[in-house]
Amino acid sequence: MADSTDGRTRTLPTLLSCCAALAATPARLLRPRRADTGFLAGLESAPLPPVRASVGLTVLVQGRMSAPTTVVAEGVRSLGHLPMAMAAYIVEHPSARFVVDPALCAQVHRRVLPGLPFPLPLLVAPDKPVLGLADALAARDIDPAALDFVLPTHLHWDHISGVLELPEAVPMRLPSAELSWALDGPHAPAGVVRGPLAGRSLDPLELDGPPVLTFARSRDLFGDGSVLLVDLAGHTPGSIGVLLATRDGRRVLLAGDSVWNRLQIELIREKAPMPGQLFDADRDKAFETIHRLHALPDGIEVVAAHDYDAVAALAAH
């Protein structure tokens, strides 16, 4: 695949980035970055638009791995590990059926991970085997050709690799800022593999709607309040959250990788420099977004894409 060449040529700068991130980590495990109490105090919650429709939500858990608790939420005094999920979400709106985060294809270790520069594949590979998106859809009797579009929360490899198993006619919708960040430069940013995007129709959309809750920008995808896209920039420039009004009356925010675990929201903690410095495109903005998540009003169920317990609880609902 074309991107594996890119992966090899990026080995040296990636190794240097890893060394810098590793060197910065021990101090942060002892003294985590402090929350910005002034910013937090200034956050207000804007009203949600009225809800005139609701959606069905099905969780497809595709893979898992684990990571040390103290690097997922820096400074948490634990020698334990947190289980991490990789999952796709089928959303059924009255006028469209789509997949948020078409996460993994069955052969992701062979087809996609070689596109990441060394040593990143060693850090991020899910346990084998994974459940490919085509198999996950088949288990639910869903025809991939019947999907109207896919909507990744961002363009990291573990949120889009499943499109390799979808017909090319299924378009991908996402903010133009995310597209230009991932595709315009001479090399893919860390965490991005461009191969799965080849040949697919990429339909840009903008978060040009008003503030909702603690988020500065939004997009009411169907104009009925049932699927609101909110700005979670920081992890990547075009990271979005997908706030759903589900048929059973809940408000679920699929929060991508703005955090990896709810602990970060509760405690207002960054990921540790290793690996946050490698994968958060703008650390300051990512930390600001964590404050916004922390300040959400009650009643919003935040599900970070890799928070295994939160994803599993959503799947069991």
Footprint on this chain of Zn ion (rule: CB under 5 A)? 156, 158, 257
Helix, strand, coil shares of the chain, percent, nearest 5, are 35, 25, 40
Cis peptide before 68 (omega within 30 of 0): no
Instruction: Give the residue with the Cβ less far from Zn ion, 67 or 91.
Output: 67
User: What is the spatial distance between Cα 278 and Cα 272, in angstroms, rounded to a whole number?
Assistant: 10
Instruction: Work out how close the CB of 256 gets to Zn ion at its nearest, in angstroms, rounded to a whole number.
Output: 7
Instruction: Work out how close the CB of 22 gets to Zn ion at its nearest, in angstroms, rounded to a whole number.
Output: 20
Give me the residue label for tokens 């961002």. Answer: 154
User: What is the spatial distance between Cα 57 and Cα 31, in angstroms, rounded to a whole number?
Assistant: 39
Contacts of 186 (CB under 8 A, 6+ apart): none
Instruction: Work out how close the CB of 139 gets to Zn ion at its nearest, in angstroms, rounded to a whole number.
Output: 23
User: What is the spatial distance between Cα 5 and Cα 117, in angstroms, rounded to a whole number?
Assistant: 9
- What is the 8-class DSSP label of residue 234? T
User: What is the spatial distance between Cα 219 and Cα 177, in angstroms, rounded to a whole number?
Assistant: 14
Instruction: Give the residue with the Cβ less far from Zn ion, 165 or 257.
Output: 257
User: What is the spatial distance between Cα 217 and Cα 289, in angstroms, rounded to a whole number?
Assistant: 12
Instruction: Give the residue with the Cβ less far from Zn ion, 191 or 225.
Output: 191
User: What is the spatial distance between Cα 157 and Cα 192, in angstroms, rounded to a whole number?
Assistant: 5
Instruction: Work out how close the CB of 194 gets to Zn ion at its nearest, in angstroms, rounded to a whole number.
Output: 16
Instruction: Give the residue with the Cβ less far from Zn ion, 212 or 255.
Output: 255
Taking Cα atoms as reference points, which of 165, 317, 171, 150 lies closest to residue 240?
Answer: 150
Instruction: Work out how close the CB of 83 gets to Zn ion at its nearest, in angstroms, rounded to a whole number.
Output: 14
Instruction: Work out how close the CB of 158 gets to Zn ion at its nearest, in angstroms, rounded to a whole number.
Output: 4
Instruction: Give the residue with the Cβ less far from Zn ion, 119 or 167.
Output: 119
Q: Are the CB atoms for 315 and 86 separated by under 8 Å?
A: no
Q: Which residues are 175's β-sheet partners?
A: 205
Instruction: Give the residue with the Cβ less far from Zn ion, 225 or 276.
Output: 276
Instruction: Work out how close the CB of 108 gets to Zn ion at its nearest, in angstroms, rounded to a whole number.
Output: 12
Which phi and psi (to 5°) does residue 203 adopt?
Answer: -100, 110
CB-hemisphere CA count at 13 Å for 203? 10
Query: Sign of dihedral through CA atoms 286, 291, 292, 298?
Result: positive
Instruction: Give the residue with the Cβ less far from Zn ion, 23 or 122.
Output: 122
Instruction: Give the residue with the Cβ less far from Zn ion, 91 or 190.
Output: 190
Instruction: Work out how close the CB of 262 gets to Zn ion at its nearest, in angstroms, rounded to a whole number.
Output: 15
